[in-house]
């Protein structure tokens, strides 16, 4: 091990992490890092925030927590790692165990020997093969060069209109960055909903929030062509024939694993398009490991191989690959449950685990609930969270969780991710010992409250329905009786206007005669967040009514999240 030669291809996230970890484990190894770009260890998830002006120093994307720029000099002095930038790995000779590299500035060829090789070649932006894709003004936001280009546009303040193609994580973050530059933004998404890691009901709430910020959202319509004048973008043409004038278009429809080098070397490539690795991050060649956006990962809940291009996973995988290169296969990367989060102006949207559709496809008998309630007490300026929990009816295990709103979404998703990875049940969470103080949470945390609602539903105490269900039912001939259990002052401030009847919870027992005569009539109860709606439903059920439901999330889940 003392004279071990370790070569790492790729210098963005997984590669530098692997090189640094390998050095800490073997202080005598000869470690070489090969990077095609001029920059090293780029914080690519920070690109939208640099473009948006959250910070102005580009070097912060390349710096350590103490502010030192990670360049070849830094890697040599601080890590004793030889880092070649502007150097492309063009061939892996597995038999001779060496990598053929070309120094792009000089054109010189160099062969670098290895005992162990770690491939971290990342991913490239998907670009649809449509007319005008190469026009000046059409960009992506995957590389640091993309970030430089868009930041220059922001600083010059010459562009008025932009189209973001794709409503996923990168698209939404790009949208906010451009909006902060006073650019009018339209999001064009070919699928029925944006942020497809969310269920459709929560996704629509996010779309409504974007539109409240004067962002145009077009769904179920793709771009058929980019229109140009004298080589410069002048607009986009949609699949339905509509033309949108714009001076900038950012294509954000996802990324493709960069596996050309690995494929050429004969390494196994999987159905999801990434390099196949095992739990040790070892490829089909025992002396070659791979990590980051170029690999496939095991989905821990479905058992399928997926492409999960997340910066945190890349760092974790790079660390595991380095440990196993140095000390033999013992460290494991068990997989992903595809936890993700993004900022949506003053809101956040996050998800972890499976949504209800994926869970059903995986063979689960699924139950879902929606919880709309604050993250902290009102006297501590609590902010709204709208969350959805997915659980298995039989095992009662939590399978997935989503949360959106201006409240502390990150805390909710992090807690849920640990619960799901730990195989915890709804009943485990219902009595979980989480930290409580008014500046940080409610006495019963929002996540625990979600578990309580799920418990009530699984145990048959409550029959919950979504706001989407209510919207569909109110237009039917046999529309349900809608009971608003709030107080008169709340009713005057905000009402749905769909024929609901106001009967405050405190007066309900005295006004049961105002309910339908038919005990089998469908009655749907709600309030602001439906806690009083649930209590009203119990009273009505006790009075002999057999078809009583609760609109989960109440009025707060009806249109779009707003601060409480």
User: Could you tell me the residue ranges of all domains in the chain?
Assistant: 5-122+256-327, 138-253, 340-458, 464-557
The answer to whether residues 462 and 534 touch, using CB atoms and an 8 Å cutoff, is yes
Q: Give the integer Cα–Cα distance in Å for 542 and 509.
A: 10
What pLDDT shows up at residue 531? Answer: 85
The CA-CA-CA angle for residues 301, 350, 206, to 5°, reads 130
What pLDDT shows up at residue 562? Answer: 39
What pLDDT shows up at residue 556? Answer: 80
Q: Which two tokens stand for residue 248?
A: 């900038």
- pTM for this entry: 0.91
**Fold of the domain built from segment(s) 340-458:** FAD/NAD(P)-binding domain (3.50.50)
Which residues does 16 contact at the CB level (< 8 Å), separation at least 6?
Answer: 8, 33, 40, 41, 70, 75, 318
What pLDDT shows up at residue 233? Answer: 96
Q: Which two tokens stand for residue 187?
A: 């999001």
The CA-CA-CA angle for residues 24, 291, 268, to 5°, reads 135
- Domain 5-122+256-327: CATH superfamily, name plus number: FAD/NAD(P)-binding domain (3.50.50.60)
Q: Give the integer Cα–Cα distance in Å for 33 and 82.
A: 6
CB contact burial 388-406 (16+ within 10 A = b; e otherwise): bbbbbeeebbbbbbbbbbb
Q: Which two tokens stand for residue 235?
A: 């607009």
Distance from first CA to last CA of the chain, Å, rounded? Answer: 60
Question: Do 5-122+256-327 and 340-458 agree at the fold level?
Answer: yes
What pLDDT shows up at residue 561? Answer: 39
Strands 523-526 and 548-551: parallel
Q: Give the integer Cα–Cα distance in Å for 187 and 286.
A: 45
Successive 10-residue mean pLDDT values, the chain, 564 residues: 88 96 96 96 90 92 91 95 97 97 97 98 94 96 93 92 95 90 94 93 90 93 95 96 96 96 98 97 98 97 95 97 97 97 94 96 95 92 94 98 96 98 98 96 96 95 90 91 95 90 96 95 92 93 95 78 36
Going across the sheet that includes 161-165, the strands are 138-139, 248-251, 161-165, 184-189, 216-219
What pLDDT shows up at residue 134? Answer: 95
**Fold of the domain built from segment(s) 464-557:** Oxidized Rhodanese; domain 1 (3.40.250)
Helix, strand, coil tally for the chain in percent (to 5): 30, 25, 45
Using CA atoms of 424, 430, 435, 441 in order, give the dihedral in degrees to the nearest 10. 120
DSSP-derived secondary structure letter, 373: E
Query: 472: how many CB neighbours lie within 10 A of its CB?
Result: 11
Q: What is the CATH number of domain 138-253?
A: 3.50.50.60
DSSP-derived secondary structure letter, 45: G
The answer to whether residues 320 and 369 touch, using CB atoms and an 8 Å cutoff, is no
């Amino acid at each position: 091990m003392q004279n071990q030669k370790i070569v790492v291809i790729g210098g963005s996230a997984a590669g530098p992490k692997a090189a640094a970890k390998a050095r800490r484990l073997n202080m005598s190894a000869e470690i070489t890092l090969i990077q095609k770009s001029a920059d090293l260890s780029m914080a690519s998830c920070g690109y939208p925030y640099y473009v948006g002006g959250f910070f102005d120093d580009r070097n912060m994307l390349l710096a350590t927590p103490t502010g030192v720029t990670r360049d070849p000099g830094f890697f040599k002095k601080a890590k004793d790692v030889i880092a070649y930038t502007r150097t492309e790995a063009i061939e892996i000779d597995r038999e001779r165990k060496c990598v053929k590299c070309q120094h792009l500035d000089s054109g010189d060829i160099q062969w670098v020997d290895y005992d162990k090789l770690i491939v971290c070649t990342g991913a490239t932006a998907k670009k649809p093969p449509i007319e005008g894709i190469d026009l000046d003004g059409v960009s992506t936001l995957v590389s640091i060069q993309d970030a430089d280009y868009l930041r220059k546009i922001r600083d010059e303040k010459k562009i008025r209109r932009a189209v973001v193609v794709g409503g996923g994580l990168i698209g939404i973050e790009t949208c906010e960055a451009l909006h902060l530059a006073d650019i009018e933004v339209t999001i064009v998404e070919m699928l029925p909903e944006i942020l497809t890691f969310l269920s459709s009901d929560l996704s629509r709430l996010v779309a409504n929030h974007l539109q409240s910020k004067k962002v145009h959202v077009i769904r179920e319509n793709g771009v058929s062509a980019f229109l140009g004048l004298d080589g410069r973008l002048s607009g986009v043409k949609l699949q339905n024939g509509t033309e949108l004038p714009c001076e900038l278009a950012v294509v954000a429809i996802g990324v493709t694993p960069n596996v050309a080098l690995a494929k050429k070397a004969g390494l196994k490539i999987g159905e999801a398009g990434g390099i196949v690795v095992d739990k040790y991050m070892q490829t089909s060649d025992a002396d070659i490991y791979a990590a980051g956006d170029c690999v496939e990962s095991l989905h821990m809940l479905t058992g399928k191989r997926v492409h999960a291009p997340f910066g945190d996973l890349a760092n974790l995988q790079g660390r595991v690959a380095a440990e196993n290169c140095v000390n033999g296969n013992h460290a494991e990367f068990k997989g992903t449950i595809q936890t993700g989060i993004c900022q949506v102006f003053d809101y956040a949207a996050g998800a972890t685990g499976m949504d209800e559709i994926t869970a059903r496809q995986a063979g689960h008998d699924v139950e879902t609930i929606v919880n709309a309630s604050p993250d902290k007490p009102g006297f501590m300026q609590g902010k709204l969270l709208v969350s959805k929990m997915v659980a298995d009816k039989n095992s009662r295990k939590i399978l997935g969780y989503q949360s959106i709103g201006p409240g502390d979404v990150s805390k909710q998703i992090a807690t849920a991710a640990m619960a799901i990875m730990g195989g915890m049940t709804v009943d485990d969470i219902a009595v979980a010992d989480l930290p409580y103080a008014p500046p940080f949470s409610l006495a019963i945390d929002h996540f625990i409250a979600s578990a309580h609602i799920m418990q009530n539903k699984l145990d048959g105490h409550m029959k919950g329905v979504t706001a989407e269900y209510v919207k569909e039912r109110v237009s039917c001939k046999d529309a349900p009786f809608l009971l608003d259990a709030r107080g008169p002052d709340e009713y005057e401030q905000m009402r749905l206007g769909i024929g609901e009847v106001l009967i405050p919870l405190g007066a309900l027992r005295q006004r049961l005669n105002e309910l339908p005569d038919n005990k089998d009539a469908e009655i749907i109860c709600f309030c602001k967040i439906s806690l009083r709606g649930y209590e009203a439903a119990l009273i009505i059920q006790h009075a002999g009514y057999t078809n009583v439901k609760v609109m989960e999330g109440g009025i707060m889940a009806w249109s779009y999240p707003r601060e409480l």
